[in-house]
């Protein structure tokens, strides 16, 4: 079985501050890891993903996440956030077992204040 | 045009009524999913389908049924709606395999009175 724990349900930060959204996973097999973002009144969309290779993955809007196998973590970071980053962020795990289904965390609400 | 569309976007219904939520996709994906989102509970999988003839229950399928009318269409039905089915419902699609990104529709907000 696979599971995901997002350690913070809400993260308030000021604009231009750094942020880290934490995600830990559990799985007995090799995993693929994803971060999705949900802006208000919209569906989820992919932010970035780790499949294999370099453990540091980046998005086009300045977010990055690092796969840490020993700590079973995939934390999301951004060095300087903008108001427009206010959204809910979901970490997800999948594998080639479990019928390839994804398991989602409970979400972290990032609120960027001016 | 959006790759994954859902209708209706908002719906209010009464306890005991049957309701259908529809999902269409233009991505040509074989896999389709229905999730519900509740505050603080993330996304929970209701049903999923890997092709037209392959439909599977997710973790919270009780009280729901689905129909895969075509590769592009996957509908979710609440046979007899109850208030605790009030939620935001999302349809998603993906290509084969666990490494594939899921593409989500805009969601249907359902209120059961």
pLDDT single digits (tens) A43-57: 999 999 999 888 999
Residue B1 has pLDDT above 70, yes or no: no
Residue A33 has pLDDT above 70, yes or no: yes
- CB of A46 less than 8 A from some CB of B: yes
Residue A78 has pLDDT above 90, yes or no: yes
- Residue whose entry in the numeric block shows the structure tokens 């809007």: A61
B92 CB neighbours in chain A (<8 A) are 43-44
pLDDT, position A41: 86
Contact: B98, A32; criterion CB under 8 Å: yes
Mean pLDDT of all residues in B46-64 = 94
What is the rounded CA–CA span in Å between residue A106 and residue A9? 8
pLDDT, position A100: 72
Torsion sign across C-alpha atoms B75, B60, B102, A20: positive
First and final CA of chain B: distance in angstroms?
Answer: 33
Contact: B45, A101; criterion CB under 8 Å: yes
Residue A31 binned pLDDT confidence (cut-offs 50, 70, 90): confident
Mean pLDDT of all residues in A46-75 = 93
Contact: A100, B104; criterion CB under 8 Å: no
Residue B58 has pLDDT above 90, yes or no: yes
Mean pLDDT of all residues in A35-47 = 93
CB B63 within 8 A of CB B77: no
pLDDT, position B40: 81
B104 CB neighbours in chain A (<8 A) are 36, 43-45
CB–CB contacts below 8 A, A to B: 62
pLDDT, position B98: 66
Contact: A105, B41; criterion CB under 8 Å: no
CB A91 within 8 A of CB A76: yes
């Amino acid at each position: 079985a696979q599971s995901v724990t997002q350690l913070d349900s809400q993260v308030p930060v000021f604009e231009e501050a750094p942020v880290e959204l934490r995600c830990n996973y559990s799985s007995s097999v090799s995993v693929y890891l994803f971060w999705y973002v949900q802006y208000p009144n919209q569906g989820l969309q992919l932010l970035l993903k780790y499949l294999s290779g370099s453990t540091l993955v980046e998005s086009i809007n300045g977010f990055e996440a690092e796969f840490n196998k020993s700590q079973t973590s995939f934390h999301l970071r951004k060095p300087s956030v903008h108001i427009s980053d206010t959204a809910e962020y979901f970490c997800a795990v999948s594998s080639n077992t479990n019928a390839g289904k994804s398991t989602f965390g409970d979400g972290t609400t990032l609120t960027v204040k001016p | 045009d959006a790759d994954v569309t859902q209708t209706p976007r908002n719906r209010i219904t009464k306890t005991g009524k049957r309701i259908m939520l529809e999902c269409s996709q233009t991505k040509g994906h074989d896999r389709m999913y229905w999730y519900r989102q509740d505050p603080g509970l993330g996304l929970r999988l209701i049903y999923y389908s890997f092709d037209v003839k392959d439909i599977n229950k997710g973790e919270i399928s009780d009280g729901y049924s689905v129909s895969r009318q075509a590769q592009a269409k996957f509908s979710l039905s609440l046979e007899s709606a109850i208030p605790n089915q009030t939620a935001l419902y999302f349809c998603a699609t993906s290509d084969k395999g666990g490494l594939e990104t899921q593409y989500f529709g805009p969601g249907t907000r359902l209120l059961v009175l």
